[in-house]
Amino acid sequence: MNPYRENKLTKKKEWLALKNHFNSLKKYHLKDFFNQDSQRVQNFSLETKNIYFDYSKNIITNKTINFLIKLAQASNLEAEIEKMFEGKKINQTEKRAVLHTALRNRGNQPIFVDKVDVRPAIDKNLLKMKSIAEKIRSKKWLGFSSKSIKNIVHLGIGGSHLGPQMVTQALKKFSSKNINIYFVSNVDGTQLTEVLNKLKQEETLFIIASKTFTTQETMTNAKTAQKWLLEKTNSLSKIKNHFLAITSNEKLALQFRIKKNNILPLWDWVGGRYSLASSIGLPIMISVGYEKFINLLEGLFEIDSHFRNKKFHENIPILMALLGIWYNNFFKAETYAILPYSYELNLFPSYLQQVDMESNGKEVDKNGDLVDYETGPIIWGASGTDSQHSFFQLLHQGTKLIPVDFIAFVNPNNNLLDHQEKLVANFLAQSEALAFGDDSQKIPFKKFRGNKPSNSIFFSHLTPHTLGNLIALYEHKIFVQGIIWNIYSFDQWGVELGKNIAKKILKDLKNDKKSCYTYFNNSTKKLIDFYKSKYQESKNEPNKKTYS
């Protein structure tokens, strides 16, 4: 690896043209752009069947978009898009294809990975998921006491957890009222304990979602779940119907005593954070049913087709990506806020944190050289209007430039009095205030400088279909940015070091001696010894049952 070698990206003529153009815009305010162009909103907005995308409140001109598109073209974006959809091994560090799009492809054409058509396996698995989901939803899936399953506890973490949890919550309006679905990810025993305390063993089914079936947090929770069931039955054979596994490691799942018919596959050409259309989406299907799950896939596929086929200047995820490049690399904006004006999408910013930051949080390019430019931004946010009474002060009057995506739905799923009008009024008011501010105030503390950029994204309704649209928009935005930054967006080596060190520390914590690992720095060794000395007495207490 060559540290900080001068990177080709920042030497491209398209990049240098953007840099010069950026300097020429410094004297302008968003007010100026709107005053000078009566057609600005028409020029900087796009509408599809379900989406209205207004990007007019960005610090851009037509020249900006043209320069950004030229940069994308110089990055061979069109060819890179085709490589992904065609199943080429674009995840080079792991020698894998990236084909989450195949999972939601509603066409009939073959989809090849290593010259093998994967469509039959996808279709077969979808039918298996349907069979399981319908059996649970119809109360025909019985536990050890012949009672039907009422509670699903999903055990996963990261990509195996955030996607299905977010979607299940977002689509709660469409869910079965006879089934409770809980998501447990943290190895902190409090989370699992609080869930188990609500449930009865004979009515509970656990879904273990782990690609390798070795994920420490997930497997620790799974073993505790198994122990909890055995306290009631004392028979491994009786609890076989209380576990499902979603994994690529069938051997370890069988060793855990999970029935072969209760194991669903994960393919290595689907990354965890892009996997909710795979077997990982089983809790979604159990919650909303097969037809609604298909609607979700159709919404994803609709944007896949839009992304693959639309020209760059008509392509919403590409424009979203280019605007992100503009602020991240030229305005030096370090963060990006996602603000859904929808309580149902409360988990969407957290979901996007992983998808974006695990994908594009990279410091080396595809050549293995440290980059000399910024890559992935810090993604954060919360639902409106709660967030207005939290961090909006900094958005409006703080010193940092923070681009914002505002997301809202024209028609609510729950229409109470004038709640919807007030929600949308706030959605519209905040982008207005950020863009144009208020300089009429004589008192400096009450002045709003404005000139803060945002996108406004309107959907018709929040449905499985439009949620699929929304998810795919951001997936493809992230892909485009990774291509332009010349980084590998579909690996995540950065999560490995901490996990490996934790395994070594765990061995140390479990012995009675002082820390013996010489490769730990003095701080870590002292922390280990402090923990062991202060909590040794509690460790030695007899195990107490913490759930009932």
Q: Which residues are catalytic?
A: 358, 389, 499
ω into 48 cis (within 30 of 0): no
Percent of the chain as helix, strand, coil, to the nearest 5: 50, 15, 35
For residue 543, the one-letter residue type is N
Q: CB 401: neighbour CB atoms within 10 A?
A: 16
Could you tell me if 201 and 233 are in contact, meaning their C-beta atoms sit under 8 angstroms apart? Answer: yes
How far apart CA 100 and CA 104 sit, in angstroms, is 7
Q: How far is the C-alpha of 216 from the C-alpha of 229, rounded, in Å?
A: 20
Q: In what order do the strands lie in the sheet with 454-461?
A: 45-47, 51-54, 454-461, 404-411, 335-340, 378-381
The burial class, CB within 10 Å (0-12 / 13-18 / 19+), for 516 is exposed
Hey, how many other C-beta atoms are within 10 angstroms of the C-beta on 451? 17
CA distance 56 to 336: 17
Burial environment of residue 529 by CB neighbours within 10 A (0 to 12, 13 to 18, 19 or more)? middle
Measure Cα distances from 155 to 183, 358, 367 in Å.
Answer: 6, 20, 37
**Pairwise CA distance, residues 299 & 127, whole Å:** 19
At 444, the amino acid letter reads: P
405 vs 340: CA distance, rounded Å = 8
- Strand-pair category, 335-340 with 263-265: unpaired
Contact in structure between 496 and 503 (CB atoms under 8 Å): no
Rounded CA-CA distance 349/339 in Å is 7
Q: Output b/e per residue, 349-362; b: 16+ Cβ within 10 A.
A: bbbbbbbbbbbbbb
* Count of residues making up the chain: 548
